[in-house]
């Protein structure tokens, strides 16, 4: 059996990260989460739907005044050449 040698090739590459705006990208979706009980609205491409959920939720739970917006936005990484 002969001698074993290892060899590594390292190359520095520049990557870019940006919102995915390609035609086949997943849609950006919005949801709202109640900060009091953790309940979350269904996700929607239209922000008005989660906003309506908040009004319904606080109508049923008058002491629930604080909410979090959850935005799911697709991103893509690509190597610059």
Residue 80 confidence (pLDDT) above 90:
no
Q: How many CB atoms lie within 10 A of CB 1?
A: 3
Res 1: pLDDT: 61
Q: Is 52 exposed, middle or buried (0-12, 13-18, 19+ CB in 10 A)?
A: middle
Residue 17 has pLDDT above 80, yes or no: yes
- Residues 20-76 pLDDT 10s: 999 999 999 999 999 999 999 999 999 999 999 999 999 999 999 999 999 999 999
């Amino acid at each position: 059996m002969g001698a074993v040698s290892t060899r590594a090739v390292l190359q520095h590459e520049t990557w870019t990260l940006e919102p995915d705006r390609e035609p086949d990208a997943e849609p950006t979706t919005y949801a709202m989460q109640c900060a009091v009980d953790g309940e979350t609205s269904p996700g929607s491409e239209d922000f008005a739907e989660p906003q309506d959920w908040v009004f319904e939720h606080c109508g049923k739970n008058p002491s629930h005044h604080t909410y979090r917006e959850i935005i799911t936005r697709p991103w893509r990484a690509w190597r610059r050449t």
